[in-house]
């Protein structure tokens, strides 16, 4: 970028307001521009606030916009940059899940890395037993890809804000799939780190293991930078280590194909064929590209539903109750057996596509995600194309504890593969249209 403002670049290219160029920038790109002095954090944040004002009314991702506080924080980031501080997320606008406060440990660490919180995002409202939606005083949060559909939840507004280009990065929390489900339905990246990697002060260890904070982002590199900011280093130190701003190295493709087991159901879920087909086709593309290597294994885990519900309620110390403890042990052992042979487990992120604003009915959108909140294994959802009906689908990848780097490496490689395949498809379509046009005008060999 050779200009000194996002607005100037957009104006010179398309005569727009500036928000379109900003909406396509990654967190890494913004931080690089601000850190080098080619942009200021205030310029970026002003543009972010303008984009929110421009596009959020129909989407309803935000419940609050913190204009004054955001501009003050941006000014503080600019002062730090001028003083020579190297902030890995300098000037990056951040959406904050509505259940988190600016004073929370994780948001504070992101701000120390240079992020600028711009507003609170929608989470589910009261009155429903299902959590895959977002509520605002203007109505339910809408999916940017289809306003008649839910963006998922409970990190509903965070995923929608990222997908709509209002922010490049947002906070989420995942206790049953609340980062991964909206990531899948909004076609963004959502990472659930290893249980306990990012503990919450004052929470029992088993609760911190089940419900963990995680990023929603448009790129694997941005998700990696978020995780780096929370842990203090890309090497992922033990929990409790102090955060130290450092320039995160972007994920690189795996050095060799990672052995990957596929399961559409985990042995119990009622996964819709159209969703399974889309996710499986995307995984096959990763195998063709040499990113993963198919590995055959039988996956038959116990249904975690009753166990998860008991753990959430924590009635009379449910974590120590024999039936619950038995299921936890069986789930963990079953997943660990898979990782004795393979390096990744792949599933659709959800068994169903995005539901309407009237809810999922009897569908269990969490069926393929909540087992890994119980076992603590890290998992990521990456965009995996669409069903034949055009509905977004996510591919969930699960790894052994502490192997977030493998998940992010595959996610980064998948972005490149998807871009190459999209370009090839566009070129093929263009060539076919040219041929058809030539035929209709009498040109060509025949």
Catalytic residue among 5, 26, 97, 211: 97
Q: What is the dihedral of CA 164, 170, 175, 178, to 10 degrees?
A: 0
Say what angle helices 41-59 and 6-14 make with each other, to 10 degrees: 60
Q: What does residue 173 show for φ and ψ, rounded to 5 degrees?
A: -140, 145
Question: Do residues 251 and 412 make contact, with C-beta atoms less than 8 angstroms apart?
Answer: yes
178 is catalytic: yes
Rg over CA atoms, the chain: 22
- Please state, in angstroms and rounded to a whole number, the distance separating the CA atoms of residues 293 and 309: 35
341 DSSP 8-state letter: H
423 is catalytic: no
356 DSSP 8-state letter: B
- Give the 3-state secondary structure of residue 215: strand
Longest pairwise C-alpha distance within the chain: 81
- Give the 3-state secondary structure of residue 172: strand
Q: Which residues contact 179 (CB under 8 A, 6 or more apart)?
A: 155, 172, 173, 190, 191, 192, 214, 215, 216, 381
Question: Do residues 351 and 365 make contact, with C-beta atoms less than 8 angstroms apart?
Answer: yes
Q: Which residues contact 323 (CB under 8 A, 6 or more apart)?
A: 306, 307, 310
Q: Strands 169-174 and 93-97: what pairing?
A: parallel
Catalytic residue among 5, 26, 178, 381: 178
192 is catalytic: no
- Please state, in angstroms and rounded to a whole number, the distance separating the CA atoms of residues 114 and 81: 9
Catalytic residue among 154, 155, 173, 263: 154
My answer on whether omega of the bond before 154 falls inside 30° of 0, hence cis, is yes
Overall size of the chain counted in residues: 446
3-state DSSP helix/strand/coil % of the chain, to nearest 5: 40, 15, 40
CA 146 to chain centre: 18
Question: Do residues 308 and 374 make contact, with C-beta atoms less than 8 angstroms apart?
Answer: yes
Q: Which residues contact 12 (CB under 8 A, 6 or more apart)?
A: 3
Residue 243: closest CA among 386, 109, 102, 385: 109
- Give the 3-state secondary structure of residue 146: strand
Residue 384: closest CA among 375, 374, 394: 394
Q: Which residues form the catalytic set?
A: 97, 154, 178
């Amino acid at each position: 970028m050779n200009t000194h403002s996002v607005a100037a670049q957009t104006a010179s290219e398309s005569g727009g307001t500036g928000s379109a160029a900003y909406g396509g920038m990654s967190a890494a790109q913004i931080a690089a521009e601000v850190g080098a002095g080619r942009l200021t954090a205030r310029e970026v944040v002003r543009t972010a606030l303008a984009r929110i004002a421009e596009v959020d009314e129909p989407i309803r991702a935000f419940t609050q916009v913190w204009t004054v506080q955001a501009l003050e924080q941006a000014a503080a980031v600019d002062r730090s940059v001028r003083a020579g501080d190297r902030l890995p997320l300098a000037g990056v606008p951040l959406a904050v899940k509505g259940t988190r406060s600016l004073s929370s440990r994780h948001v504070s660490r992101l701000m120390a890395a240079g992020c600028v919180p711009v507003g609170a995002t929608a989470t589910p409202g009261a009155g429903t037993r299902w959590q895959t939606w977002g509520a605002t005083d203007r109505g339910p949060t809408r999916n940017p890809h289809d306003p008649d559909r839910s963006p998922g939840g409970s990190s509903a507004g965070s995923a929608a804000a990222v997908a709509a280009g209002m922010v490049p990065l947002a906070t989420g929390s995942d206790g049953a799939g609340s980062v991964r489900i909206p990531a899948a339905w909004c076609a963004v990246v959502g990472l659930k780190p290893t249980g306990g990697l990012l503990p919450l002060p004052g929470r029992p260890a088993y609760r911190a293991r089940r419900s963990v904070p995680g990023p929603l982002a448009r790129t694997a590199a941005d998700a990696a930078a978020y995780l780096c900011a929370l842990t203090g280093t890309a090497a992922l130190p033990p929990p409790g280590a102090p955060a130290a701003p450092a320039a995160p190295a972007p994920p690189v493709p795996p050095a060799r194909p990672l052995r990957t087991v596929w399961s559409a159901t985990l042995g119990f879920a009622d996964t819709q064929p159209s969703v399974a087909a889309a996710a499986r086709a995307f995984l096959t593309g990763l195998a063709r590209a040499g990113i993963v290597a198919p590995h055959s294994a039988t996956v038959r885990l116990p249904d975690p539903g009753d166990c998860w519900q008991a753990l959430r309620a924590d009635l009379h110390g449910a974590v120590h109750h024999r039936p619950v403890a038995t299921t936890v042990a069986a789930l963990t052992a079953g997943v660990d057996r898979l990782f004795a042979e393979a390096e990744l487990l792949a599933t659709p992120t959800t068994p169903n596509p995005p539901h309407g604003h009237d809810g999922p009915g009897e569908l269990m959108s969490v069926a393929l995600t909540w087992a890994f909140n119980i076992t603590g294994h890290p998992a990521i959802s990456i965009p995996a194309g669409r069903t034949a009906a055009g509905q977004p689908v996510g591919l969930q990848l699960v790894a052994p504890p502490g192997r977030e780097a493998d998940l992010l490496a595959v996610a980064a490689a998948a972005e490149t593969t998807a871009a190459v395949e999209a370009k090839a498809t566009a070129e093929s379509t263009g060539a076919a249209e040219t041929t058809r046009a030539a035929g209709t005008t009498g040109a060509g060999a025949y």
